[in-house]
Structure 1
Amino acid sequence: MKLRKRQVLFVGLGNPLRSDDTAGLLIIDRILEFPLSENWKAVKCYQTPENYLDALSKGKHDVIVFIDTVQGIEENYRIYEKEEIRDFSFSTHSFGLASIIDFLNRKKRFEIYLVGLRPAVLSLGTTLSLEMKRIIETIVKGFERECRK
């Protein structure tokens, strides 16, 4: 996923009251701390990305990177391409990401990715697991390197 010179919209998903599920939102907070180029934008959609369809479908961006927890993956994180996302039913959102992607692609042909993060704890609470803290650091460092190239 080469992003440096692309028009990218990062989209954080998650529930800030469900422990590790807040990771996508926290990564967006960290990305917004970078000295971002005007090509990179970021938005937090929480657990209702369908409420942000207008913002997601409009703008200069041609790449959308969703960041969310994905239950049942073996690796700490994985980057999914949009064709792979269609086969999942892991979403806790009102609309699954496949439906969101279908809507977005009717508006414009976006290159879409999901950075799926493996949660260790999804119980009620605001404390992140140590594993998720490490995953977040890895992801943030990767995006920061890409931003500075």
Structure 2
Amino acid sequence: MGIGNDLKGDDALGTFMARNLHNLSPKIVTIDGGVVPENFTGAIKKENPSHILLLDAVDMKKAPGFVRIVHKEEIPNYSISTHSMPISFLINYLEIGTGAKIALIGIQPQSMELGQEMTREVKKSAIHVLDILKTILLP
């Protein structure tokens, strides 16, 4: 599930990544959760997933484009995207509701100004992560 706002620069990276993973394989369900990922919990639960991967902009106070897996326990230490529900609540809800293993891949944004496009460095990192995911997910 990609999370983010297409109108706010690097915050669009989650939705950008979800759209680029769409139709990758019939075994992989891709959801563009936008700024209200909690609205898609029913659709996620209906799929009965074994794993859920969340993709989002995470302010980790690192260089723009820095990528890492953010563990649930670390979430309170970071500023994560611009959505209404804290991502930790979403993760807890999905863990309880699906039993799936959940990971959050965070990419350090550079600019999340309204009306801006994704910055070059962040888009480069998003594409790199997409390439890795495609290698892992495709047989």
* TM-score normalised by the chain length of structure 1: 0.82
Structure 2 matches for 1:1-149, cutoff 5 A? Answer: 11-32=1-22, 34=24, 36=25, 38-74=26-62, 76-85=66-75, 87-88=76-77, 90-91=79-80, 92-149=82-139
SS in structure 2 opposite 1:40?
coil
Structure (1 or 2) with the greater helix fraction? 2
Q: Give the deviation of 1:121 after TM superposition.
A: 0.9
Query: Counterparts of 2:28 and 2:50 in 1: how far apart (Å)?
Result: 11
Query: Counterparts of 2:30 and 2:77 in 1: how far apart (Å)?
Result: 24
SS in structure 2 opposite 1:113?
strand
* TM-score normalised by the chain length of structure 2: 0.87
Regions of 4+ moved over 6 Å: none
Query: Counterparts of 2:101 and 2:136 in 1: how far apart (Å)?
Result: 17
Does the 8 Å contact 1:78/1:116 carry over to 2? yes
What is the identity percentage for the equivalent residue pairs of Structure 1 and Structure 2?
25
Unaligned runs of 5+ in 1: 1-10
Unaligned runs of 5+ in 2: none
Q: Give the deviation of 1:73 after TM superposition.
A: 4.1
